[in-house]
Structure 1
């Protein structure tokens, strides 16, 4: 597990950008936190690390947005509006989770049983001002490798 504290949205995005430079096809990131905690802000930074040039916004009403202009595709999902019904929606989740890109899922708890076991959990909480606390937890070898790479690039402060 890694813990980071950022002082601004820009710092949150910079941290996520470093991770975005390292993610690989098939990686799954599950973002959690209250409304307004910074899940989309984090995803915007990750997208920049992938080389995505177009603006990244929350897919609250479209559920899934695909960004194909980076080094690998980014599949950004916001499951909040579907809630518990998400597991019953035929949105081709497996094609995203096991596809050619990285999946970033906001409100992933509604898809718990469908998401691959090896995932990177990112819990974001608000801090003072525009700051955030980010707790990142790996659940398998793939996600552990990403955390090790991120820790080498961005050591945590203890």
Structure 2
């Protein structure tokens, strides 16, 4: 199941991320796209919707940024600087994919072979119209349910 969204500006990226945060509380989300395509901006909206009050930064140098609030764990990964997917084993990547956690992975192709299948795959690209185009593919029952709810609620 797939859906396409047009996000005219940063405000709409954050808003759609927040909407998804209402519908997907746990699981695995891949965020794909070129540098500057909106992956971290979207993630900021999602994490803030779940209750985080502070800054949401890209974990480019640390590989993972944990957010723990209200008894929930959200892990934001950025694999851009990963030299070899086997490095994920060294940081104990499998331990993060707890059934109650929400894991958001930017540049998932860099971890190929070491990451489980995602619930949702989001592909961001620069739009011909100025903003961003977002294609969302649901790859699990939980992902399909979240995408259906997102389509119904989407007002951007």
Task: Encode CA deviations 1:98-147: one digit per residue, 9 max, x unaligned.
Answer: 24321000000122322222420000011233x11000001121211111
**Alignment RMSD (CA, Å):** 1.8
Per the alignment, residue 81 of structure 2 pairs with 81
Per the alignment, residue 95 of structure 1 pairs with 95
Task: Confirm or deny: 8 A CA contact 1:97 1:115 kept in the other structure.
Answer: no
For structure 2, which runs of at least 5 residues remain unmatched after alignment? none
1:88 CA displacement: 3.6
1:10 CA displacement: 0.5
Task: Confirm or deny: 8 A CA contact 1:118 1:141 kept in the other structure.
Answer: no
Instruction: State how 1:8-157 maps to structure 2 within 5 Å.
Output: 8-25=9-26, 27-69=27-69, 72-83=72-83, 85-89=84-88, 90-127=90-127, 128-129=129-130, 131-154=131-154
Flag the 1:4–1:99 CA change in 2: closer, same or farther, 3 A. same
1:18 CA displacement: 0.5
For structure 1, which runs of at least 5 residues remain unmatched after alignment? none
Which aligned runs of 4 or more in structure 1 are off by greater than 3 angstroms? Answer: none
Flag the 1:121–1:52 CA change in 2: closer, same or farther, 3 A. same
What CA distance in whole angstroms lies between the structure 1 residues aligned with 2:102 and 2:72? 7
Task: Confirm or deny: 8 A CA contact 2:20 2:46 kept in the other structure.
Answer: yes
TM-score by length of 1: 0.88
SS of residue matched to 1:73: strand
TM-score by length of 2: 0.89
Task: Confirm or deny: 8 A CA contact 2:124 2:134 kept in the other structure.
Answer: yes
Decide which structure has greater strand share. Answer: 2
